[in-house]
């Protein structure tokens, strides 16, 4: 390798022989933060680009879903910075009411205490103490991943500014009649002893039992929760059901209780389901509650807050799951059990925090009237103010906001934003804003509940920028540019931000684009779960393979709205890709590649140089197009193949003979190689920031690039733009033909067992017709072919493409007879594989019964065997 450099150019820094991600990543991140690379200024005259981070729980640690989502947000932010935007990626955390309170209560239990032993004020102090000492470790883990967030703007949903925002919007909603207090059915966790939002309830298909109970000779109902019959206040039938019309308005005795309850007609009942009769328990089922409201039925609460039966009688004091079989046994003893089906698989809601089965419960709670807010949220997408990516997700969004129920916002916790409502001794109710003094005096007390965590999170896009004050940040960076989040919370967090953002900000949407991604799964598409044993810790990947490899693996699987399979092997491949970049740049530096001065005039460029520059223009345009469409996987795929195939495998190899020869052509190639790597590293930087910054600063050396001081950072380099004048279709066609010839010769050599370094005499015919005659010395160099001498005798002939043929003298290099025998045996094996695969695929019985993955695997085997057969046939022909 030559190390000759321009006398006026200082030597470039030397890269180590091997890339060590751990050393580079830690050092680079500290340099970025110290230099203020991530800071955004509201005083800037650059156009704004804003992303607010979906705030992770203060109790959380970096899991693969975080790593995936943060990689996408970081890539968007870094690219916009390079494009000249004032890019703000705002970090912060959520106080995570239920999760945090549970965690601190477990700590207290270990000390033999409960929160009630401390009292509310001391307990809240204890939570703040925990937050200061142990909370938020995920923030340090975000640094390991490379998050380029503006740490100076870090927010917390319980900090003073956001608490002020919560009080302000609660007061505004209350005064506008959009917040009210009422007794309604809510999701209740008997373990956490609080109401839950829909997002805090996870439904799974559980084994249960469906029991049909005879209330009378004519009344039979079916239920999966027999214990709730103690709270029945009616039986309902469809008013048009001819079987039961005569029963409407009559009464039936409720077994085990002696109470008589009415039979009502209600259109909610499905006559085709079961017997067409349903038991109505208004205090313990949301649909029954609505029936009860329509028919003015009483609501009997027969369980306490812990799920213990309170109804007088023999079952009082039993837990709900103890009462269920006891009640069924009592009914069976009376001969009232008509049928029992078990297991009966049905959807059951569980508390997302403690996995306890959720109980529908009639409770006095605070609600948001979502009707007008939800309509506004739907209109903002329909009229184009907010765009959902991918577009087909908009239908799911509309299905939710167009049918939204009122939102229960009160939680029976001590950790969180306490509801700013005071009650007086004579029934007075007063809502207090942040700038108002609460009422004092005997008998006045504040509501004991706190607000749903999602209430404060719904304000995140504008409260983090200073609202309700009209700050410079709010004026500059609102509305935010894009929300990157999972489709699984489209209905909950996203819809809530839309409702509150439009309401608080006078119709201005909280974000211009909602970019929805899928869930990270294992390589088989299975949900990651500790119980499955397939959970991958991104910090483990970062330790073993580096943050860049972790990020590239995740981004390469990111298709809008689709789930993302990942595996250890794929991360190893991404590490190899980073190593490939390292080795290519190291080679370039050792051979004098540089970025000094303008590119040489076209007349000085070789066809190979013009080809790689033209390819760069296509890649730059495609990367831009895919970034704008949030097609991260396609961005990565385009850059991977350009870097690995075009640059490393072809251009570097084609450049080696030129660089070794020296002179003017070598100096031109050094400049082109430097330019291509410079642009490639810029294009890759948003996804793999660490290795690209290390390599780019080494490549820049002591030069000034884009007016930036030497070796500053690729973060401050301009984002590449296409140069139409560098597109060269003729050069691309010419090099494509050269690649085809070289590839076919290499494949033939491999098939014949020729060692890579073994030279073989050959005659190349038809290069002129193919337009690549000038490249014959280069072709021979790449595939180790000598000129045909006087004793040349072709023992194998290879038809490459079009008019190009290659005659090779393999005497002494190949045992032709043995090779023919080997290929003949391989041909027979391929033919057998084809026959077996076709036999299965032509069998209708197999196609009807076999799972789709099995059929796909057989099709893949057939395609591979057919390709092998074609290759073997060509090799046999070449042997003559």
| Among candidate residues 35, 297, 288, the one with its CA nearest the CA of residue 185 | 288
Burial class (CB in 10 A: 0-12, 13-18, 19+), 791: exposed
CA distance 444 to 497: 33
Q: Rounded to the nearest 10 degrees, what angle do helices 538-545 and 547-555 cross at?
A: 120
Structure-derived torsion over alpha carbons of residues 240, 246, 251, 255, reported in degrees to the nearest 10 = -80
628, two tokens: 């704008």
Task: Please report, for residues 308, 323, 766, 872, the alpha-carbon distance to residue 317 in angstroms, rounded to integers and kept in the order given.
Answer: 6, 9, 95, 79
The SS3 assignment for 50 reads strand
3-state secondary structure (DSSP) of residue 738: helix
Residue 366, both tokens: 């605070």
From CA 337, how far away is CA 357, in angstroms rounded? 25
- Chain CA centroid to CA 335, Å: 54
CA distance 542 to 214: 62
Return the number of other C-beta atoms located less than 10 Å from residue 400's C-beta: 17
Distance in angstroms between the alpha carbons of the first and the last residue of the chain: 40
Percentage helix, strand, coil for the chain under 3-state DSSP, each rounded to 5: 45, 20, 35
Assigned token pair, 775? 């490249």
Distance CA 376, CA 750 (A): 65
Residues 802/744, Cβ–Cβ less than 8 Å = no
Sorted by sequence, the CB contacts under 8 Å of residue 852 that are 6+ apart come out as none
H/E stretch holding 221: strand 220-223
Strand, helix or coil at 570? helix
The DSSP result for 634-647, as a single string, is HHHHHHHHIIIIII
Separation of alpha carbons 408 and 802, rounded Å: 72
Task: State residue 685 phi and psi, 5-degree precision.
Answer: -55, -45
Strand locations in 124-200 (E): 155-156, 179-189, 194-196
Closest CA to 783 of 740, 735, 734, 736: 740
Q: Report the C-alpha gap between 674 and 668 in whole angstroms.
A: 10
C-alpha pair distances (Å), 583 with each of 18, 65, 543, 641: 8, 31, 21, 16
d(CA 230, CA 209): 18
State the DSSP code for 491.
I
Q: Which residues have a Cβ under 8 Å from the Cβ of 131 and sit 6 or more positions away?
A: 58, 100
Q: Is 98:194 a contact under the CB 8 Å cutoff?
A: yes
> For residue 411, what are the contacts with CB-CB under 8 A and spacing of at least 6?
97, 98, 194, 195, 449, 450, 451, 452, 453
64 φ, ψ to 5°?
Answer: -65, -30
Examine residue 479 and say whether the peptide bond preceding it is cis (omega within 30 degrees of 0): yes
Element housing 450 (H / E): strand 450-451
Q: Is 46 annotated as a binding residue?
A: no
Contact 641, 683 (CB under 8 A): no
Q: In sequence order, which residues have a C-beta less than 8 Å from that of residue 164 and are 6 or more positions away?
A: 434, 468
What's the token pair of residue 33?
């933060």
641: Cα separation from own chain's centroid: 23
Residue numbering of the annotated binding site: 530
Residue numbering of the annotated binding site for ATP: 530
């Amino acid at each position: 390798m030559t190390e000759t450099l321009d006398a006026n150019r200082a030597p470039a820094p030397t890269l180590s022989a091997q890339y060590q991600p751990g050393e580079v990543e830690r050092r680079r991140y500290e340099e970025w933060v110290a230099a203020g690379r991530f800071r955004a200024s509201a005083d800037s005259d650059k156009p704004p680009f804003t992303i607010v981070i979906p705030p992770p729980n203060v109790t959380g640690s970096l899991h693969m879903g975080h790593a995936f989502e943060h990689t996408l947000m970081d890539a968007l932010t870094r690219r916009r910075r390079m494009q000249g935007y004032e890019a703000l990626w705002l970090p912060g955390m959520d106080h995570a009411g239920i999760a945090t309170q549970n965690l601190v209560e477990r700590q207290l239990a270990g000390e033999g205490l409960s929160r009630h032993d401390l009292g509310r004020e001391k307990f809240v102090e204890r939570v703040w103490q925990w937050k200061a000492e142990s909370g938020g470790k995920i923030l340090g883990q975000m640094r390991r991943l490379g998050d380029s967030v503006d740490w100076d703007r870090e927010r917390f949903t319980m900090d003073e500014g956001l608490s002020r925002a919560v009080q302000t919007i609660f007061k505004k909603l209350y005064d506008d009649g959009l917040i009210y207090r009422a007794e309604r059915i809510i999701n209740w966790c008997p373990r956490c002893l609080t109401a839950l939002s829909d997002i805090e309830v996870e439904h799974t298909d559980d084994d249960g039992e469906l029991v049909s109970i005879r209330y009378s000779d004519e009344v039979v109902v079916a239920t999966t929760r027999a214990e709730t019959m103690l709270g029945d206040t009616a039986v309902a039938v469809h008013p048009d059901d001819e079987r039961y019309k005569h029963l409407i308005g009559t009464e039936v005795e409720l077994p085990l209780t002696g109470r008589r309850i009415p039979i009502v007609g209600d259109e909610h009942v499905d006559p085709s389901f079961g017997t067409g009769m349903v038991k109505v328990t208004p205090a313990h089922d949301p649909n029954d509650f609505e029936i009860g409201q329509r028919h003015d039925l009483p609501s009997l609460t027969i369980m306490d807050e812990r799920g213990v039966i309170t109804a007088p009688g023999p079952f009082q004091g039993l837990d709900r799951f103890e009462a269920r079989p006891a009640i069924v046994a009592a009914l069976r003893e009376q001969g009232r059990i008509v049928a029992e089906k078990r297991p009966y698989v049905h959807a059951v809601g569980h508390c997302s925090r403690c996995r306890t089965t959720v109980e529908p419960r009639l409770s006095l709670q605070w609600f948001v009237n979502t009707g007008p807010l939800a309509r506004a949220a739907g209109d903002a997408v329909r009229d184009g103010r907010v765009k959902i990516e991918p577009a087909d997700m908009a239908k799911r969004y509309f299905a939710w906001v167009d049918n939204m129920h009122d939102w229960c916002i009160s939680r029976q916790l001590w950790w969180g934003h306490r509801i700013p409502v005071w009650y007086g001794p004579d029934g007075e109710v007063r809502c207090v804003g942040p700038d108002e003094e609460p009422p004092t005096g005997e008998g006045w007390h504040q509501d004991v509940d706190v607000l749903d965590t999602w209430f404060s999170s719904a304000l995140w896009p504008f409260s983090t920028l200073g609202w309700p004050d009209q700050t410079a940040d709010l004026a500059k960076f609102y509305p935010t540019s894009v929300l990157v989040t999972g489709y699984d919370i489209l209905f909950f967090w996203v819809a809530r931000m839309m409702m509150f953002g439009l309401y608080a900000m006078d119709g201005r949407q909280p974000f211009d684009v909602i970019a929805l991604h899928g869930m990270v799964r294992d390589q088989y598409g299975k949900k990651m779960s500790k119980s499955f044993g397939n959970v991958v810790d991104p910090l483990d990947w970062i330790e073993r393979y580096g943050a860049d490899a972790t990020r590239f693996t995740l981004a390469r699987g990111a298709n809008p709205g689709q789930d993302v399979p990942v595996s250890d092997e794929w991360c190893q491949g991404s590490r190899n890709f980073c190593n490939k970049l390292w080795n290519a740049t190291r080679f370039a530096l050792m051979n004098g590649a540089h970025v000094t001065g303008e590119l040489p005039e076209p007349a000085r460029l070789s066809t190979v140089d013009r080809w790689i520059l033209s390819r760069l223009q296509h890649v730059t345009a495609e990367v831009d197009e895919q970034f704008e469409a949030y097609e991260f996987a396609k961005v990565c795929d385009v850059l991977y193949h350009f870097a690995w195939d075009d640059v490393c495998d072809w251009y570097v190899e084609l450049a080696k003979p030129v660089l070794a020869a020296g002179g003017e052509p070598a100096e031109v190639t050094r400049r082109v190689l430097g330019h291509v790597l410079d642009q490639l590293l810029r294009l890759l930087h948003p996804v793999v920031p660490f290795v690209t910054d290390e390599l780019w600063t080494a490549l820049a050396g002591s030069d000034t690039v884009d007016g930036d001081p030497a070796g500053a950072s690729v973060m401050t380099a301009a984002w590449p733009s296409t140069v139409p004048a560098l597109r060269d279709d003729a050069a691309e066609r010419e090099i494509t033909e050269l690649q085809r010839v070289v590839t076919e010769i290499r494949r033939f050599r491999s098939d014949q067992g020729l060692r890579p370094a073994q030279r073989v005499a050959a005659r190349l015919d038809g290069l002129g017709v193919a337009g690549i005659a000038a490249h014959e010395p280069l072709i021979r160099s790449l595939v180790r072919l000598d000129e045909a001498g006087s004793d040349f005798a072709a023992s194998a002939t290879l038809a490459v493409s079009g008019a190009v043929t290659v005659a090779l003298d393999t005497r002494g290099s190949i045992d032709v007879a043995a090779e023919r025998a080997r290929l003949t045996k391989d041909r027979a094996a391929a033919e057998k594989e084809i026959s077996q695969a076709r036999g299965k695929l032509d069998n209708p019985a197999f196609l009807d019964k076999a799972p789709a993955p099995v059929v796909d695997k057989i099709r893949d085997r057939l395609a591979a065997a057919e390709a092998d057969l074609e290759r073997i046939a060509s090799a046999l022909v070449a042997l003559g």
